[in-house]
Amino acid sequence: MATSNVVCVLHVSEEEENYLRMHLLVTGISQRAVRILFDKEFHPSRLEATIKKGYVTLYDLKTKHVINAAQWNLLFPRGGAPNSQTFDVTLMIIILRNLANFTEPAGGYDKLPCLTDTSSMADLARIKHYRNQLAHFKGGKMKTAVFTTAWENISGNKVHSSD
């Protein structure tokens, strides 16, 4: 008789489920929402021209290490045009903050905006805030109270139980 070395996970705790749901929201769903806004503001047919026009600003961000070498190569690819489908959320937010004509949230880009600010830039600040917060959670767990607040702040919707 052969024995199996497969380990079966029988239960995911509520705190682990919270973490997984938040991870999906900020890395999957939010990324698609940011890309929709990005492509609306910088239509793919005009993206290359916009990036070239913003070269001085982007180069300054590169020298300040806001844009890294890999992101720079996506903005100015060898032998081709930039494509927003290759940009990560961080790069899209950097470009939106620095090349688009949006108003900065009341508390700035690096603070969690108040719930009453529903502007596009406030939404981007929320996504950034919670992505950074999620990166610092240990053990893949998130307390329910923290999860509920974060979910409602990002999505604007009440949390629904998966039961």
Residue 129 has pLDDT above 60, yes or no: yes
* Rounded distance between C-alpha atoms, residue 43 and residue 18, angstroms: 35
Which pLDDT score is estimated for 163?
A: 45
137 inside domain: yes
Q: Which domain holds residue 151?
A: 14-155
Residue 132 has pLDDT above 90, yes or no: no
Q: 153 near 116, Cβ under 8 Å?
A: no
- How many CB atoms are closer than 10 A to CB 65? 8
Which pLDDT score is estimated for 100?
A: 94
160 inside domain: no
Q: What pTM was estimated for this model as a whole?
A: 0.80
104 inside domain: yes
121 inside domain: yes
Count of domains forming the chain: 1
70 inside domain: yes
